[in-house]
Amino acid sequence: MKRILSIAIIFTLLHHTASSQGCVAIRNNGAACTMMGYHYDADHKPVQASPWNFAINSRYFKSYKHFVGTEEQKERVEAGTEVINHSFSTELGLTRQLGTRWSLALFAPFISNTRSSMYEHYGNTSKSPNARRDTRSFGLGDVRVAAYYWLVDPAKLTKANIQIGAGIKLPTGDYRYQDFFWRNDSSKVLGPVDQSIQLGDGGTGFTLEANTYLNLSKHTSLYANGFYLFNPREQNGVSTARGGVPAASAIAYGSDVMSVPDQFMARIGASYAAERFSLSGGMRIEGVPAKDVFGGSNGFRRPGYVLSAEPVVAYHAKAALLYLSVPVAIVRDRIQSVPDKIRTEKTGVYAQGDAAFADYTINVGVSFPLR
């Protein structure tokens, strides 16, 4: 007899990184479902395969399309002045089941970023063939620890359920990472890399999450996930001047140091499972708000969001779950930041910065019990 609780439900609720596409910097913190530690018997009841479960989740994107609000600044690519971020990260997740309803999880991301630009080095108006240069960052990101609880015992209810989670995000990632910025062919200075490729944000944060599913039939199910990171710290003290002296205007408007922003992610969709495969389709939104829920919101940040269509394919092997997800951006919106609003108020001229976004991200991962 086939499983009533489909493979897709396990997959759609297992760990997903909240990782926005480009300069709207979202770190590797996301929702985790502890049901990934379960297998199912012939009577369709979940059986805990192991109290320990291990997951490896990787993502990659290339951001290069600039937006102010929802309007793409196509002239940046045409002129060759666009900023290009290549971001690759792998997050290791370890989950410990505590009975059938409680669990604890640890997530540790390892990140490798490369940022190519002209304006940070020689300047966008330079005619030098060497004007485009790279800055890089590599290392451990911000580690997160979280606890999860099923509102109903999954062993007793397979039709639908809701899982809630709460955790703490630690500032383990280097938020002062430095590289060289070239001023000309023979002169360079050492300074903090752009906020979008920093390994951490420098704040201790708190997370809330929710995961839910509903089985419509033996093969079809609905799912939803939500995640929010609260970062009470307003600024981390890192200069945005790239090894130079902050401009007077940056100091006046509050964008001379990096902020420590909140982050959010939400997903909703449907899945169809047949044999060992499942296909899912839904919508995904993720981003950085202009203002935090707690604490101040001044300092440099690129607030905004990405709304994506998210197709997913998953395969449930005998002892492992593999997946591939490729969210494709539909709407990209770089909203006004607090420094933008301060500048608008002080000058009387509407100000709104830009941000570079990707067309899509590639997410791939595997989850399996540790016996």
Q: For 217-236, write each residue's pLDDT tens digit.
A: 989 999 999 999 999 999 99
More confident call, 224 vs 2: 224
- What DSSP assignment string belongs to 169-231? E---S-TT-EEEEESSSS-EEEEEPPGGG-S--S--EEEEEEEEEEE-SSSEEEEEEEEEEE-
Q: Check whether 42 has a pLDDT greater than 50.
A: no
pLDDT for the residue 15 = 46
Q: 321-335: per-residue pLDDT in tens? A: 999 999 999 999 999
> pLDDT band at 371, cuts 50/70/90?
confident
Q: What is the pLDDT of residue 19?
A: 53
Predicted local distance difference test score (pLDDT) of residue 2? 35
The matching CATH number, chosen from 3.40.30.10, 3.40.50.1970, 2.40.160.40, 1.10.357.10, for 7-370 is 2.40.160.40
As a whole number of angstroms, the distance between CA 16 and CA 66 comes to 26
The pLDDT value given to residue 41: 41
**What pLDDT does residue 88 have?**
97
Which pLDDT does position 299 carry in this prediction? 97
Q: What angle is formed at CA 168 by the lines to CA 165 and CA 171, rounded to 5 degrees?
A: 150
The pLDDT mean for the chain works out to 89
pLDDT band at 23 (very low <50, low <70, confident <90, very high): low
Q: Residue 318 — pLDDT band, cuts 50, 70, 90?
A: confident
d(CA 256, CA 249): 9
> pLDDT tens-digit profile of 112-141?
999 999 999 999 999 999 999 999 999 999
151 C-beta neighbours (distance < 10 Å), count: 12
